[in-house]
Chains A and B, each alone.
Chain A
């Protein structure tokens, strides 16, 4: 079972919900896919057992063989290669590691070599949650290859909770695709609603079933609930604004551990998700 937690807007409480879900699911695995700004470790406080560099492949030119024929430059859709006549210059931040330049070089002058783009970590929490996260190297631009690597770091059959990066573009869809279910966390503001709609469109397009959690719930902002009802979306849980939760988070403490009401809400949330997953499978089969 793979449950991902996402939100269009940042700061809605994704990480708190994801880490809390992992905390209450027995024998769970938590994977932080927000590789630009990973924060799950601050709440779950895992003991790190392994840390290793993560790489992407980039082309390396053998100038004994290169004739500066320009083929590699013309097949690179990302404009990552420049022909300076005495050198093929690589803008490695633009390279997507597609391998086309290496394949099409008529002289076999290109080999692919590893370039470090960040680090991957494995850990374990006191209550036996398996923990994975990754840090994109500062200045490195493309998060997607690192997200793929941290997602594939765990290959077992335990229940997995994925903490997605914010937004609705490639990083977010990379993190949530292949999930059995996605929890979208939003908040009671027009910003929360606007970004929820965008995230909903992405999930519909990539075909991941989802439900909605309203965090920092405020009953005066009714447009959010109207949207959920009008579009017949699955509503999972509302979490009222509570200064205790905010303070708990600010200190890096897990609300599910410190606040009983919050823990109960997470148990209820997990119950609903399990039910939804079963329903989706029944409908599909």
Chain B
């Protein structure tokens, strides 16, 4: 099999709020021949900072949902008794609790239950100022199945991948559950963004255990490392013992918050960071080569 022409870097953290998006956005500004995917479909944020125009919008249909037609319903309550998600009460389906298993629809003796795909999100194909493609999505309020939306978003990006693309950069969701697993498919390297807190270290360990299962290599960026230098040292020691490279340590700097508050990437807001992030990205390229 010939080598694929691109590498995929997924940015994750386990814990939320460590600076994943800030760092992913900085990479989006300095890397060429790339596409960018915001895979945090629960709470997408990159689009707030990256200047883009939307080229296409697609509807996302998640799970099907049941609905009871009261004209046909004989109120036998069989549907309520088989539903494991407590979604049916008084012959009414709670759309938030319904997990779309279709059990009620199949079991109903009156054929009173419809079971249709419902629109549960939208996703966008956009163009950045440097003409690279950028994809993000929005899940509708209270919808589940975010993992499936991440997969669909990534598939759309892949289907339209141009020959000259060298990098796919994915800003991942927090946690270690289904949307994270979906964001990991095809990853060549995971960049883990952590912070020097007890929770940061705790969640980092769980994420590293997950990556071991998938056998995906990773490297670590410790963000705001000087908030607690001792804890930062503990994190370094831990990743050394796991033979995971430290990519960078970034000091706490109010400029990062100020940049976001002005809806700008850190590169655009403070030019000093441009060379710093180019160095960080060069290290990432080195890690992937080896």
Distance (whole angstroms) from the CB of B24 to the closest CB of chain A:
12
B16:A10 contact, CB within 8 angstroms? yes
Interface size class of B (residues with CB under 8 A): 35 or more
B266 in contact (CB, < 8 A): no
> Do A169 and B261 have beta carbons less than 8 Å apart?
no
Residues A250 and B142 in contact in the complex (CB < 8 Å), given A136-B176, A191-B260: no
Residues A9 and B176 in contact in the complex (CB < 8 Å), given A39-B202, A169-B143: no
Chain A residues, Cβ within 8 Å of B64: 77
In contact, B42 and A167 (Cβ under 8 angstroms): yes
Q: Output the nearest chain A residue to B196 by Cβ-Cβ distance.
A: A250
User: B171-182 toward A: CB 8 Å interface, digit per residue (1/0)?
Assistant: 001111111010
Q: Which residue of B lies closest to A77 (CB)?
A: B102
Decide if A166 touches B174 in the complex (CB within 8 Å): yes
A37–B15 CB distance below 8 A? yes
Stretch binding the partner chain, chosen from A83-91, A199-207, A225-233, A268-276: A199-207
Interface readout for B263-274 with A: 1 if CB under 8 Å, 0 if not?
A: 100000000000
Tell me, in angstroms, the Cα distance from A10 to B44 when the chains sit together. Answer: 11
Q: How many A-B residue pairs have CB under 8 A?
A: 191
B176 cross-chain contacts in A, Cβ below 8 A: 36-37, 136, 138
Whether B16 pairs with A39 at a CB distance below 8 angstroms is no
Residues 125-150 of chain B: 1 if any A CB is under 8 Å from the residue's CB, otherwise 0? 00000000000000101111111000
Q: How far is the CB of A267 from chain B (nearest CB, A)?
A: 24
A37 touches B174 (CB 8 A): yes
Query: A168 vs B174: C-alpha distance in the bound complex, in angstroms?
Result: 12
Task: Report the Cα distance A184→B173, complex, angstroms.
Answer: 19
Interface residue from A9, A15, A140, A204 paired with B199 (Cβ < 8 Å): A15
Picked from A97, A194, A198, the residue with its CB within 8 Å of the CB of B141 is A198
B102 with A139: CB separation less than 8 A: no
Q: Is A170 an interface residue (CB 8 A)?
A: yes
Which residue on chain A has the smallest CB distance to residue B97?
A: A177
Given known A37-B202, A195-B43, contact A247–B260 (CB-CB < 8 A): no
What is the CA–CA distance of A30 and B53 in the complex, to the nearest angstrom? 45
User: Are B45 and A194 neighbours in the complex by a CB distance under 8 Å?
Assistant: yes
Given contacts A97-B84, A202-B142, are A168 and B43 in contact (CB under 8 A)? yes
Instruction: Indicate which residue in B49, B144, B206, B231 contacts A37 across the interface (CB closer than 8 Å).
Output: B206
Please determine whether A96 and B99 come into contact, CB atoms closer than 8 angstroms: yes
Minimum C-beta distance from A157 to chain B (A) = 21
> A240 interface residue, CB < 8 Å from B?
no
| Contact, CB under 8 Å: B17 / A11 | yes
User: Would you mind naming 22 contact pairs between A and B with Cβ atoms under 8 Å apart?
Assistant: A9-B43, A10-B17, A37-B16, A99-B84, A100-B103, A140-B177, A141-B178, A143-B175, A166-B17, A166-B174, A166-B175, A167-B43, A167-B173, A169-B144, A169-B145, A177-B97, A188-B261, A189-B261, A191-B260, A194-B44, A250-B228, A251-B228
Which B residues lie at the A interface, using CB under 8 A? 13-18, 21, 41-45, 48-49, 63-64, 82, 84-85, 96-97, 99-103, 106-107, 139, 141-147, 173-179, 181, 195-200, 202-203, 206, 209-210, 213, 227-228, 231, 257, 260-261, 263
